[in-house]
């Protein structure tokens, strides 16, 4: 069986860092209020001229450099995003052009905060089938442009960023198990209702969220999908070296780790500095863990995420 092995990772955060104290100067909130409820201390916000493709391209360049792979060696680009540069074409094709690549397939995947899980699974299928040898997978979002900065219940939760991985065909290691799910009946808990029609934006252009509803659903399903992936691989909780979860809320992450019997010392945590970067959060955390030396070759990594829809999933990877 051909496996999709991680050859290299990369990430990018915009230069502007906004702390909770910065937000407290412009709205009725405080560092204590945000930190206690979410674990978030700061987030990065894209500059006015920065686009999702800019963030994604920089993360991709760093991943290609780490993998020692040239752009022209890439057979496929899959980009997970909820905040594309434009309605069409796919932001993946814009990144493709900025990287100086032409000809290979390039498309976007939209599963909000679970987008990177869906993109990795798609890339894995291409590699396992022999349709691709090397795939560039990116998660990138600029959520700061779709939150209401007058709504402290949502705006304090999100940040901007991008993360990328280069996958290559291998007979050893790589993605060894994966599970994806979705249930559209829960869309009311987390969604953005706006749509374009006849040159107008119809419906609210801001994220709408039922915080308590999202929390309860996420804790239940993330624990369940983790068990599914481990059962698929014939492994136990004790076999996990690192949990790399979607970085939405520290309390959700702590609950998932507890279910898996993992101490927080075995969790890659970036939510304090990045906030929720949607599709970018897992690859950002993955890159952080690899570059600081915590994650090393041969270890087993459990990646999992959940996003609006709801869509959720998990992957078990031998790095």
Catalytic positions, please? Answer: 113, 246, 276
132 and 94 Cβ atoms separated by less than 8 Å: no
162 preceded by a cis bond (ω within 30 of 0): no
Which residues lie closer than 8 Å to 93 by C-beta, 6 or more apart?
Answer: 106, 107
CB 44 within 8 A of CB 17: yes
Within 10 angstroms of residue 205's Cβ, the number of other Cβ atoms is 14
């Amino acid at each position: 069986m051909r496996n999709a092995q991680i050859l290299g990772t990369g990430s990018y955060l915009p230069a502007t860092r906004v702390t909770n104290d910065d937000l407290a100067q412009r709205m009725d909130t405080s560092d204590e209020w945000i930190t206690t409820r979410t674990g978030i201390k700061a987030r990065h916000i894209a500059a006015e001229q920065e686009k999702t493709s800019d963030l994604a391209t920089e993360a991709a360049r760093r991943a290609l450099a780490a993998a020692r792979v040239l752009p022209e060696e890439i057979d496929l680009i899959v980009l997970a995003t909820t905040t594309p540069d434009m309605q069409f074409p796919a932001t993946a094709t814009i990144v493709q052009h900025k990287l100086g690549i032409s000809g290979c397939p390039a498309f976007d995947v939209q599963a909000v905060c679970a987008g990177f899980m869906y993109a990795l699974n798609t890339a894995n299928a291409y590699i396992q089938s022999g349709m691709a040898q090397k795939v560039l997978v990116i998660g990138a979002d600029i959520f700061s442009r779709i939150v209401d900065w007058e709504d402290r219940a949502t705006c304090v939760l999100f940040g901007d960023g991008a993360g990328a991985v280069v996958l290559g065909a291998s007979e050893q290691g790589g993605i060894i198990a994966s599970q994806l799910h979705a249930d559209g009946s829960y869309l009311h808990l987390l969604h953005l209702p706006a749509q374009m029609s006849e040159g107008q934006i119809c419906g609210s252009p801001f994220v709408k969220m039922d915080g308590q509803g999202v929390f309860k659903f996420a804790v239940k399903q993330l624990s369940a999908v983790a068990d599914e992936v481990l059962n698929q691989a014939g492994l136990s909780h004790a076999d996990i070296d690192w949990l790399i979860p979607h970085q939405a809320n520290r309390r959700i992450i702590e609950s998932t780790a507890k279910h898996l019997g993992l101490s927080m010392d075995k969790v890659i945590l970036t939510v304090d500095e990045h906030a929720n970067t949607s599709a970018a959060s897992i690859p950002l955390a993955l890159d952080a863990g690899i570059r600081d030396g915590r994650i090393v070759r041969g270890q087993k990594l459990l990646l999992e995420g959940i996003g609006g829809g709801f869509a959720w999933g998990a992957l078990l990877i031998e790095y």
